[in-house]
Amino acid sequence: MGASFWANKESLLLLLISNISWAVLSFFRKNYVVHRPLVLSNNINNFTLTLVYHIALVFCALYICEIFDVSRFVLLSHIAIFFVLIVIQRSAMFFFLDYIRKKGYNHRRVLIIGKKNIAIRLKQSFKRHPEYGYDIVGYISDESLKNFTAEQLNTAIKNRKVDELYVCNLDMSADTNGIMDFFLQNKTIIKVVSDMQFDVQKAEYLDYNELPVFRLLPHAVQSLKIRLLKRGFDLGFASSVMFCGMPVFVLIVAITKFSSKGPIFYKQQRIGRNGKPFYIYKFRSMYVDAEKMGPQLSKDNDPRITKWGRVMRKTRLDELPQFYNVFRGDMSVVGPRPERQHFIEQIIERAPQYTNLLAIKPGITSIGQVKYGYAENVEQMVERMSHDLVYLGKLKLTTDVSVIFDTVKVMVAGKGK
């Protein structure tokens, strides 16, 4: 597409609009800043949300400028290449910082004040993660702090060249409040550490007249930001798979059609988010009328499965049409596998906590699907559910990427159960 692409005025304009919009968005969202601690999920979340905004902005610009002559191939290719290049750039930056910080460069000097037990845990965390780039230059207990004046503390900070101050569940007495006011008037970065231990995915931040409050929830709840990030990732990943995997799709369609009698695709009603039913699509892996005796789960050496169907189920290729469900919004790429109402009722009788899985969209693949595979009975479905419940506490893009990589390993090895 080389010469023809560059000779096309609309394509060049697309390239210009894309780069300008990315530069503007990156400036306002401060994508050039890699925040400490060096946690990959935090950086990926910010970057992915910017990428979603970028794609939306590019489409809006094309519409406003009435640029309609850009082919779908060029548009999808541009988005895919842009995505890959940005990922490479961000990954290179991330691993470069990781490397130099482990070597002792690009560090910040940290002073810890407050409760000793929390300070010890904080020190242990910094020791386990040298990529954070923190050097602890001192510790002042909350009891000792009461004997410090603001001037003495200021001297200690200057002498130790402190960049960040960690306050560990400090007893906020009147004197301490005065010291905190002194800090806030200076350029020292202050971070407050609590000794409350709970999963942040299961907590909601509230603000009662400038008083910070956390409301603990019975299960993980996806914020609007996470839902947008996840939806953007789903659409981007599904588009890449559908575009790059088109030859594979055509080959599977042909083999499925000529290997056994019946339709190429198979649809079945499943239960999605908040109990909403939808139709899931697969490449047909069983003979026609496989469930004429009622709902049944497949088993090893199941005579209802075709020879080609066994290959697809081992490599999970039968699941590929579900990317259409992702486009429709019924499913996500990663999420607990959707079940039929017939089996859900039986699962809930044995494990009522299954209802927590209905709080998020089901997925094409899941932790349970990777670690356990297809279930042959309700008891095994309950066992697989325990893996999927773990996912509720890890609603992050890094978790999704990890599950996708594990799924690809299963597909390549043909170890799908």
Q: Is residue 395 part of a domain?
A: yes
Domain that holds residue 133: 108-197
Q: Is residue 301 part of a domain?
A: yes
- Please say which residue of 102, 125, 156 terminates a domain: 102
Residue 53 buriedness (CB in 10 A; 0-12 / 13-18 / 19+): middle
Q: Is residue 211 part of a domain?
A: no
Residue 270 buriedness (CB in 10 A; 0-12 / 13-18 / 19+): buried
Are 339 and 249 part of one and the same domain? yes
Are 265 and 395 part of one and the same domain? yes
Are 376 and 229 part of one and the same domain? yes
What average pLDDT values come out for the chain (417 residues) when binned by 10 residues? Answer: 53 79 80 69 67 81 74 76 78 83 88 85 85 88 77 80 81 53 65 65 56 56 69 86 87 91 90 91 87 73 86 88 92 91 89 86 89 81 84 78 84 70
Q: Is residue 8 part of a domain?
A: yes
Are 273 and 353 part of one and the same domain? yes
Are 231 and 189 part of one and the same domain? no
Are 169 and 244 part of one and the same domain? no
pLDDT given for residue 255 in this prediction: 93
Are 118 and 70 part of one and the same domain? no
pLDDT given for residue 203 in this prediction: 57
pLDDT given for residue 76 in this prediction: 78
Q: What is the CATH number of the domain that holds 184?
A: 3.40.50.2300
Q: Is residue 208 part of a domain?
A: no
Are 49 and 32 part of one and the same domain? yes
Are 161 and 83 part of one and the same domain? no
Give the integer Cα–Cα distance in Å for 367 and 358. Answer: 16
pLDDT given for residue 1 in this prediction: 46
- For residue 103, what are the CA distances in angstroms to 126, 178, 414? 14, 38, 41
Give the integer Cα–Cα distance in Å for 287 and 263. Answer: 10
Taking phi first (over 0 means left), then psi (-120 to 50 degrees means alpha), and beta for anything else, what does residue 114 get?
left
Are 61 and 158 part of one and the same domain? no
- Please say which residue of 102, 137, 171 terminates a domain: 102
Q: Using an 8 Å Cβ cutoff, are 221 and 395 in contact?
A: no
Give the integer Cα–Cα distance in Å for 399 and 402. Answer: 5
Are 235 and 193 part of one and the same domain? no
Give the integer Cα–Cα distance in Å for 349 and 330. Answer: 26
Give the integer Cα–Cα distance in Å for 216 and 360. Answer: 18
- Please say which residue of 52, 86, 102 terminates a domain: 102
pLDDT given for residue 364 in this prediction: 92
Are 72 and 138 part of one and the same domain? no
Q: Is residue 204 part of a domain?
A: no
pLDDT given for residue 265 in this prediction: 92
Q: Is residue 47 part of a domain?
A: yes
Q: Structurally, how many domains does the chain consist of?
A: 3
What angle do helix axes 40-64 and 9-29 make, rounded to 10 degrees?
A: 140
Q: Is residue 360 part of a domain?
A: yes
Q: Using an 8 Å Cβ cutoff, are 42 and 13 in contact?
A: no
Q: Using an 8 Å Cβ cutoff, are 356 and 377 in contact?
A: no
3-state secondary structure 288-332: CCCCCCCCCCCCCCCCCECHHHHHHHHHCHHHCCHHHHHHHCCCE
